[in-house]
């Protein structure tokens, strides 16, 4: 395979593993009734304190991901 295709394949495989891990972590953070655990509530409260100027837009995130995959 061409090096670019191999690199893309490796990046997609890594991304798939990361998403699977995030899904598993999220499942741990939700109780049987579908409510956030105490840990998740604390994390959410901390995230809400983050200043808006430090947040990244979805479009910028997509661009960073795209640039990372192509770079």
% of the chain beyond a pLDDT of 90: 13
pLDDT in tens, 12-40: 899 999 998 888 777 667 677 778 878 88
* Residue 46 pLDDT grade (very low, low, confident, very high; cuts 50, 70, 90): very high
40, 29 in Cβ contact below 8 A? yes
**Number of domains comprising the chain:** 1
Q: Assess whether pLDDT exceeds 70 at residue 71.
A: no
Residue 51, pLDDT score: 92
Instruction: Look at residue 50 and tell me whether its pLDDT is greater than 70.
Output: yes
Residue 60 has pLDDT above 80, yes or no: yes
Range of the domain at 64: 3-70
């Amino acid at each position: 395979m061409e090096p670019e295709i191999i690199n893309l394949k490796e990046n997609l495989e890594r991304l798939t593993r990361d998403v699977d891990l995030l899904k598993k972590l999220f499942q741990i953070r939700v109780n049987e009734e579908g409510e956030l655990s105490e840990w998740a509530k604390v994390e959410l409260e901390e995230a809400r304190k983050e200043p808006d100027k430090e947040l990244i837009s979805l479009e910028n995130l997509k661009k960073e991901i795209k640039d990372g995959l192509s770079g």
